[in-house]
Chains A and B, each alone.
Chain A
Amino acid sequence: MAQPVIHTHQLTRKFGDFVAVNAISFDVQPGEIFGFLGANGAGKTTAMRILCGLLSPTSGEATVAGFDVYRQNEEIKKHIGYMSQKFSLYENLTVRENIQFFGGIYGLSRQELKEKTNNLIERVGLHDEADKLVGSLPLGWKQKISFSVAILHRPKIVFLDEPTGGVDPITRRQFWDMIYDAAHEGITLFVTTHYMDEAEYCDRVSIMVDGAIAALDTPAGLKKQFNATNMDEVFLQLARGAKRSDG
């Protein structure tokens, strides 16, 4: 088996007395679509922010793309893409300007940028909207653009934090097609979601409860383990035991 692209061992993050992430250990293999599930407040986003180098861990170890999260967090950033829960492109720039701005930050050359921008606009089907302000577009399109920008620099791993929250079923379907395309190109995808049908699309799924990983397997494996017919049941069985929720 190849070197895992994400490796964590007993990774922990505390905020005062509150243990947001409690000693999680898992590996993600290259090219995998890794589903990271859990109820609101289970610690998914915190864990993801640590892996992206946005938050320091309290203890435990973790490497991303072979770089240590404690010392080499800036190195990690060159090899990952990140799409946060909040839409975070510049709403007062056009689609084209956003692509060029973020591409520029990742050090793409002028030639590459031009090519990729056109390529991206083509793929997402935004010919007419390319020069419109991002703020004026519907949410589904924004999310597709966000994702395309996150993989613009060909990262090894892309972290997607609830990428399809609030998006209609058709757009969600298209979004997952884009995720599959990226996976085919060899990009590893680390996805959080609340939609259990989406969990079925993942190669492997981990379910977090109260900051710890309660289960980790392929969707089929999980269903068998919990004697359930679909992922919904698996999730409910686990999440019911949760002591903390955001209400």
Chain B
Amino acid sequence: MILMMPIIQLIVIPLAADYEIKQISISVVDQDHSPYSQKLVHKLTASGYFQLVEYTQSYAQASKTVNNGNTDLILTIPQHFERDLIKSNKAQLHLAADAVNGVRAGLGTAYAAQMIGDFNREVREEWMLLPKFNEIPQIEITSANWFNQHFDYHLFMVPGILAILVTMVGCFLTALNIVAEKEVGTIEQINVSPIKKYEFILGKLIPFWVLGMVSITLGMVFAFLIFRIIPVGSYLTIYAFSAVYLLGVLGIGLLISTFADTQQQATLFSFFCMMVFILLGGLYTPIESMPEWAQWLTRINPPAYFIKVIRAVFIKGSSFSDLIPDFLAMIGFAILFNALAVFNYRKRSA
């Protein structure tokens, strides 16, 4: 049960939370009706990213379609588009996006702009074949995506979710397990015995540590079975980091259990922690684009390190020595949280 939940997440999230957007609905307001305007529209629809929902002459009509939610983007081709393009070598187009869904709007305009740029170049090339009447300086941007050549979203998300999975197993289970003992009353039978605090805490840590390692192994198996993702780097590096990271996460769970008295409290608090961990962990949003203060917070957020490391190993194939500062940070977290937990665990209530 507890292993199934994160694995389902591992499978579902990368498939659903895909930022690559296809099938953007577009309305074209063509007030020119020229061969060139036709050509441009054809180019957009042929790309596969856009779906022409409407081809009209009236902007008012198109904006009505936007209001109905039936289209994402309006491309307006003004009158004399072709004439201006040929005569003055300059023409205007207008793009309007329904920005209710910001991601869709942003990506839609970006795709369209890129295609219009392409179109522009093609038109020019056509003219170049004709007698040259002017020298147009051309700057072309070429880009190369390192490591994740095809910008595969799954390759980016799966290792990150794997990291969150380990965090959840470690943090939730430990916290809930000990608090459950408080609720049932067995913890009292333990507290009345001469057992040492560190013995008790080790007794709780070891089984959950093993469980965490099992869950990361399972996670990697599923990552391969479903997404065909295999780490470029070494498994040993992944396990070394997981081992230390898990200790830290378990420490957080233990710490929560020392001040929560009921499972509700523990769940609520763990949930709160998980939200902060995920949002400040760089799973969805890149840490580099966060405001200064939030970036500072990510530096004290253990999962941020682990997400970074596991992505680096999976995608870039970073070696252990590349990641030594992160390893040291994780050791620091492990010591800190466990020390706090041992310190805060009281066999006798005050």
**Interface residues as binary, A78-101 with B (CB distance below 8 Å gives 1, 0 otherwise):** 101010101111110000000000
Tell me the minimal C-beta distance from B157 to chain A in angstroms. 37
Per-residue CB contact flags for chain A residues 52-67 toward chain B (1 = under 8 Å, else 0) read 1111100000000000
Inter-chain contact B188/A54, CB cutoff 8 Å: yes
- Cα A80 to Cα B194 with chains together (Å): 9
Asked if B192 is at the interface (CB within 8 A of a chain A CB), the reply is yes
Q: Is the CB of B190 within 8 A of A86?
A: no
Q: Is B189 an interface residue, CB under 8 A from the partner?
A: yes
> Which residues of the partner chain B approach A73 to less than 8 Å between Cβ atoms?
347-348
Which chain A positions have C-beta within 8 A of B349?
54-56
Do A77 and B192 contact each other (CB < 8 Å), given the known contacts A55-B349, A56-B348, A56-B350?
Answer: yes
* B193 and A86 contact, CB distance less than 8 A: no
In the assembled complex, which residues on chain A have CB atoms less than 8 Å from the CB atom of B350?
56
Which residue of A is nearest B193, CB measured? A105
* A90 vs B187: C-alpha distance when bound (angstroms): 10
Q: Give the complex CA separation of A74 and B186 in angstroms.
A: 18
Please, how many residues of chain A have a CB less than 8 angstroms from a CB on the other chain?
22
| Interface assignment of B131: CB less than 8 Å from any CB of chain A | no
Chain B residues near A55 (CB, 8 Å)? 348-349
Q: B185 contacts which chain A residues (CB < 8 A)?
A: 84, 86-88
Q: A112–B347 Cα gap in the complex (Å)?
A: 27
Q: Does A102 contact B (CB under 8 A)?
A: yes
Q: Is A106 in contact with chain B by the CB < 8 A criterion?
A: yes
Asked whether B189 lies within 8 Å of A74 as measured between CB atoms, the reply is no
Question: In angstroms, how far is the closest chain A Cβ from the Cβ of B335?
Answer: 24
B192 touches A80 (CB 8 A): yes
Chain B residue nearest in CB terms to A74: B194
B195 to A, closest residue via Cβ: A105
A53, A86, A105: which contacts B348 (Cβ < 8 A)?
A53
On chain B, the residues within 8 Å of A90 by CB distance are: 186
Cβ contacts A97-137/B at 8 Å (1 or 0 each): 00000100111000000000000000000000000000000
Other-chain residue from A56, A74, A84, A106 in contact with B188 (beta carbon distance below 8 A): A84
Cβ contact within 8 Å between A102 and B189: yes
**B194 shortest CB reach to chain A, Å:** 4
Min C-beta distance of A150 to chain B, whole Å: 9
- Which positions 159-176 of chain A face chain B at CB distance < 8 Å? none
**Which of B188, B348, B349 has most chain A Cβ within 10 Å?**
B348
Looking at the complex, which one of A78, A89, A91 makes contact with B189 (CB distance below 8 Å)?
A: A89
Question: Do residues A88 and B348 form an inter-chain contact, with CB atoms below 8 A?
Answer: no
Chain A residues near B184 (CB, 8 Å)? 86, 88, 91
Q: Check B189 against A52 for contact (C-beta < 8 Å).
A: no
- By a CB distance below 8 angstroms, the chain A residues around B114 are none
Contacts of B188 in A (CB 8 A): 54, 82, 84, 86, 88
Contact A105 B192 (CB under 8 A): no
What separation, in Å, do the CA atoms of A102 and B193 have in the docked complex?
Answer: 9
> Quick one: which of A55, A88, A106 has the most chain B CB within 10 A?
A88
Chain A CB within 8 A of B191 CB: yes
Scoring A52, A54, A55, A87 by chain B CB atoms within 10 A of each residue's CB, the highest score goes to A54
Are A82 and B192 in contact, with the CB atoms below 8 A? Answer: yes
Chain A hits for B195, CB < 8 A: 105
Shortest beta-carbon distance from A12 to chain B in Å? 15
Cβ–Cβ < 8 Å partners of B348 in chain A: 53-56, 73
Compute how far the CA of A91 lies from the CA of B184 in the bound complex, rounded to whole angstroms.
Answer: 10
The B330-350 residues at the A interface (CB cut-off 8 A) are 347-350
Given known contacts A53-B348, A54-B349, A56-B348, A105 and B190 CB-to-CB distance under 8 angstroms: yes
Tell me the nearest residue of chain B to A93, going by C-beta: B186
Chain B residues within an 8 Å CB radius of A54: 188, 191-192, 347-349
Interface centre among B188, B192, B195 (most CB of A within 10 A): B192
A171 smallest CB distance to B (angstroms): 21
Name the residue of chain A whose CB is nearest to the CB of B350: A56
Instruction: Verify B189–A82 contact, CB threshold 8 A.
Output: yes
Q: Which of B186, B194, B347 lies in contact with A88, CB distance below 8 A?
A: B186
Shortest A143–chain B CB gap in Å is 14
**CB within 8 Å of A: which B192-209 residues:** 192-195
| Docked pose: A91 CA to B194 CA in angstroms | 22
Other than the given A54-B347, A89-B186, 9 more pairs (CB < 8 A) read: A53-B192, A54-B349, A56-B350, A74-B194, A77-B193, A84-B192, A86-B185, A91-B184, A105-B194
20 A–B contacts from the bound complex (CB under 8 Å): A52-B192, A54-B188, A55-B349, A56-B348, A56-B349, A56-B350, A73-B348, A77-B194, A78-B194, A82-B188, A82-B192, A84-B185, A86-B184, A86-B185, A88-B184, A88-B188, A88-B189, A89-B186, A102-B189, A105-B193
